[in-house]
Structure 1
Amino acid sequence: MTLHTPEALRAGASVADPVLEIRNLSVDYGYEEPVHVLREVSLTLGRGEVLGLAGESGCGKSTLAYAATRLLPPPGLITGGEVLFTGRDGNTTDILRLDDRALRASRWQDLAIVFQGAMNSLNPVHRIGSQIADGIMAHRPGVKKPEALERAAELLELVGIAPDRLRAFPHQLSGGMRQRVMIAMALALEPQVLIMDEPTTALDVVMQRQIVEQIAELRTRLGFSVIFITHDVSLLIEIADRIAIMYAGEIVEDAKALDVYHRPRHPYSSALLHSFPPLRGPRRELTGIPGSPPDLAKLGGGCAFRDRCAFAWDACGTLTPSLGSTDVPADGAARAVACLRHEPERVAAAGFEPKPVPEELAAS
């Protein structure tokens, strides 16, 4: 498999060779009166690509990751959609339709996940080396314990931890080291897709940067694809090739990382960016986002962001925006946004007066 460098992907990230396709994935919570927490979400991850998934807490980022890997706990229920994985041999399988045996075989060697709380993901009464080795032996029955521990030592070195830490217990490691152990464990069987659910949560900014740089280096060396979940868009600029913005269980913008950062097209994307200080460059005013995310149990028609949007008008209370292409830049990279300001024909056909795209949300 050809390894892609971050520079090459930034120059023209493409999903022409997809490794993971999420199509119209829907998830409900509850049984008698289910709440629709994901509504026909579609995403495509290219081979060797880093896709950032950003949004406020409660927007559905982790639910999307757990549903796609079939790790969604009750009362979560997948009600529709497909999750298509394309292996190195070119064969495509729908993860949602695998039986238990095939799903167990697929986990950790096709797709692996790094959970948000490293301390809660590691067994506190077992040594680090044993936990990594157990995972290897579970999926590779022919591998003996000494060989598995040798592989575990190599994995620790890969993520910048001394091999003698194999005998350490989780509580003897710092938060950053525990997160690196989780990354090492996820890479043990050389998966093609690595899903990282807010891996830098509760870490200081220095350790956050080290983790991000570590992931970028490993991706370049090993060639796997990454879905990096976070609420901090500015953090994704350091690693992501493409960013998808989620709000209220839907994707509202999907574009190249630098386009989202410098030229956001959706009002929520712009507001989210102005909620965090820039990592470099001139200072800018932090405005935040007024109000709170909507109650998904009471979500009706129209745009879910309208009550918090500075550019909403009467059409936003009736028409539900659709995620569609706004233009095709010269480099050919696709860009999609779900905002009625970018759908003048549809708005006019529904009897509303179209509104122009605000200057700050227009193409530059």
Structure 2
Amino acid sequence: MTGEPVLDIRGLSVDYGLGEDAVHAVRDVDLTLHRGEVLGLAGESGSGKSTLAYGMLRLLPPPGVIRSGQVTYRPRDGEPIDLMSLSRSRLRRFRWAEVSIVFQGAMNSLNPVHMVVTQLTDVIAAHEPRTTAAARKARAVELLNLVGINADRLTSYPHQLSGGMRQRVMIAMALALEPRVVVMDEPTTALDVVMQRQILRQLVELRERIGFSVLFITHDLSLLVEFSDRIAIMYGGRIVESAPAAELYRSSLHPYSDGLLHSFPALRGPRRELTGIPGSPPDLRAMPTGCAFHPRCPKAFDPCAERSPVSEEPAGHGGSDRSVACWLHSAHEPAERVTT
């Protein structure tokens, strides 16, 4: 493991709406991010990835509601911090200073009527009001250099930057206060493949140089296999598998993970058939009984339609750093597989 836990999520559940009509978007999620780690979070659109990120930072827009759970941040020095109990003022000071986020659609998150220097220095001024204007500008220059942008771009407006440069400005803004955790929500979706790899390599270099942890959220599992230390797979609002990236790629256990891995071509090694995943993601307003994946699963058998499996260490993998929520690998369900 990369290091000790820096962010612990336990039993987090998030709804949209209230009462009987509420949509359960995130369901009892446990997740741990370790110090210095790149943790990938993958799944199809609508699986709950972004909702999980915004829920843990209490950034949910209405009608999002945190129904239950605990999110604990563990600084290097001092007592653990429960994000769910922070007051609004303390939470505002906490965000960006300790945990920052690069939002989905980050290329369009910059204010189009302000220069880059204004947007970078505003972040610093909001959290460190005693700093001088000269010190803030010097820090802005340093941040641009950090992400490979020349300082003469400080006076540029967002429309004068390429997509990759705007993305890197957003990363620079997220690193302005040297947070210990950076959450990146689909940061490369609108970029071409070459720019995706360039930005991700730079992110890995920055992580190694500065030492922050990354929660990297994407639907592109091929990116995570290449750049993550560990990967968690979400489906229907739950984590269905978690494992070191190399182990997940070599021997995925959950049929959904296997389907995702066979949905893109391998860049190296022998050719393999692309099979994809039949059917569509579940409707969160009318989830199937039992395992949410069983209507699409080629390996479903009797218990799958009746009971939802718990996430546990898979049978036969004692002492390994992986978990899976699947009856095929449960030590508590000896049923035989149904043939179709």
Name 1:7's counterpart in structure 2: none
Q: CA deviation at 1:253?
A: 0.3
Q: Distance in 2 between matches of 1:138 and 1:18?
A: 28
- Secondary structure of the residue aligned to 2:231 is strand
Q: Distance in 1 between matches of 2:80 and 2:224?
A: 29
Is the 2:41–2:215 Cα contact (8 Å) retained in structure 1?
Answer: yes
After superposition, what is the alpha-carbon deviation per residue over 1:46-70, rounded to whole angstroms, capped at 9, x for unaligned? 1111100000000000000000111
Is the 1:53–1:228 Cα contact (8 Å) retained in structure 2?
Answer: yes
Map 1:227-266 → 2, pairs under 5 A: 227-266=215-254
Name 2:337's counterpart in structure 1: 355
- Secondary structure of the residue aligned to 1:152 is helix
CA RMSD of aligned residues (A): 1.5
Q: Distance in 2 between matches of 1:118 and 1:339?
A: 35
Task: Give the counterpart of 1:88 among 60, 64, 76.
Answer: 76
1:322 equivalent to 2:306? Answer no
Task: Give the counterpart of 1:29 among 12, 16, 26.
Answer: 16
Is the 1:234–1:261 Cα contact (8 Å) retained in structure 2?
Answer: no
Q: CA deviation at 1:90?
A: 4.0
Cα 1:284–1:164, aligned 2, differ >3 Å: closer, same or farther? same
Structure 1: stretches of 5+ with no match in the other structure: 1-12, 357-364
Residue 341 of structure 1 aligns to which amino acid in structure 2? L
- Secondary structure of the residue aligned to 1:296 is coil
Name 1:220's counterpart in structure 2: 208
Structure 2: stretches of 5+ with no match in the other structure: none
Name 2:152's counterpart in structure 1: 164
Residue 354 of structure 1 aligns to which amino acid in structure 2? E
Residue 59 of structure 1 aligns to which amino acid in structure 2? S
Name 2:162's counterpart in structure 1: 174
Task: Give the counterpart of 1:40 among 12, 28, 43.
Answer: 28
TM-score by length of 2: 0.96
Q: Distance in 1 between matches of 2:31 and 2:119?
A: 32
After superposition, what is the alpha-carbon deviation per residue over 1:215-235, rounded to whole angstroms, capped at 9, x for unaligned? 100000000000000111111
% identity of equivalent residues? 60
Q: Distance in 1 between matches of 2:307 and 2:162?
A: 50
Q: CA deviation at 1:354?
A: 3.3
Aligned residues: 337
1:68 equivalent to 2:50? Answer no
Of residues 272-281 and 238-247 in structure 1, the stretch that sits farther from structure 2 once superposed is: 272-281
Residue 99 of structure 1 aligns to which amino acid in structure 2? S
Residue 292 of structure 2 aligns to which amino acid in structure 1? A
TM-score by length of 1: 0.90
- Secondary structure of the residue aligned to 1:51 is strand
Q: Distance in 2 between matches of 1:191 and 1:286?
A: 40
Q: Distance in 2 between matches of 1:81 and 1:118?
A: 28
- Secondary structure of the residue aligned to 2:227 is coil
